[in-house]
Amino acid sequence: MIPFVKGHGLGNDYIVLDESDLPRPLATEAIARICDRNWGVGSDGILLLVPSRRADFGLRIFNPDGSEAEKSGNGLRIFAKYLWDHGRAKKTTFTVDTKGGVVECQCRVEGGRMGFVTVEMGHATFRAPEIPMNGPDRDVVGVPLQLGDGTTLAVTAVSVGNPHCVTFVERLDDGECRRLGPLIERHPAFPNRT
């Protein structure tokens, strides 16, 4: 039996594992099975505690399809709480090494219990090469993006260590989000997805 914790933060839920508890490295297929909400534990991804030479702790973040993410603000806050609750973090401010860089976590602790966590995600960039986004070296703000179904959206792309793509709408429509989200996430303009 492999011990794990499931944490929730602002609408995201992650499974936290310690690499030292695993009998072998996590395979992409295993991650997808674990994260499956019908057949597995179900989550938005896996947070894997790993060693680090650059920070107090190392963290690998896996999406539910098994691909590796650079950073996740909610994931980092869940991870920080895990470290505190399991006695790994001995001080209220510590660093975590992610694929998207080293971040600082500041924990608000009262009476030995963690109240909340602040994560320094770094500076936001809109520059296409830094997101990364294929195309000209420019700020990606209100730029037209044609999707695979022929829809063209004005998008703003931003990275704080992981790529995001934003489109502003008059009203939020769940059906449109479900239809357009995957087309944006896997658009060829974003080599690391969004």
Q: What is the b/e burial string over 147-156, where b = at least 16 CB atoms within 10 angstroms of the residue's CB?
A: beeeeebebe
pLDDT at residue 161, rounded to an integer: 79
pLDDT at residue 113, rounded to an integer: 87
Tell me the two tokens of residue 40: 């597995």
Can you say how many angstroms the Cα of residue 125 is from the centroid of all Cα atoms in its chain? Answer: 17
pLDDT at residue 160, rounded to an integer: 85
DSSP string, 136-173: SSSB-SSEEEE-TTS-EEEEEEEESSSEEEE---SS--
Average pLDDT, the chain: 95
pLDDT at residue 25, rounded to an integer: 93
Segment 99-116, tens digit of pLDDT: 989 999 999 999 888 889
**Residue 157: CB partners within 8 Å, gap ≥ 6?**
126, 128, 131, 133, 140, 143, 163, 164, 165, 166, 190, 194
* CATH code for the part of the protein at 5-120: 3.10.310.10
Q: What is the SS3 assignment for 133?
A: coil
Domain ranges of the chain: 5-120, 128-185
Segment 60-100, tens digit of pLDDT: 999 999 999 999 999 999 999 999 999 999 999 999 999 98
pLDDT at residue 61, rounded to an integer: 98
Q: Give 15's strand partners.
A: 6, 46
What does the alpha-carbon distance between residue 167 and residue 174 come to, in Å, rounded to a whole number? Answer: 14
pLDDT at residue 72, rounded to an integer: 93
pLDDT at residue 78, rounded to an integer: 97
Which residue reads 């770094």 in tokens?
122
Low-confidence ranges of the chain (pLDDT < 50): none
Element (H, E) at 65: none
- Of the candidates 39, 105, 31, 36, the one whose C-alpha atom is nearest the C-alpha of residue 69 is 31
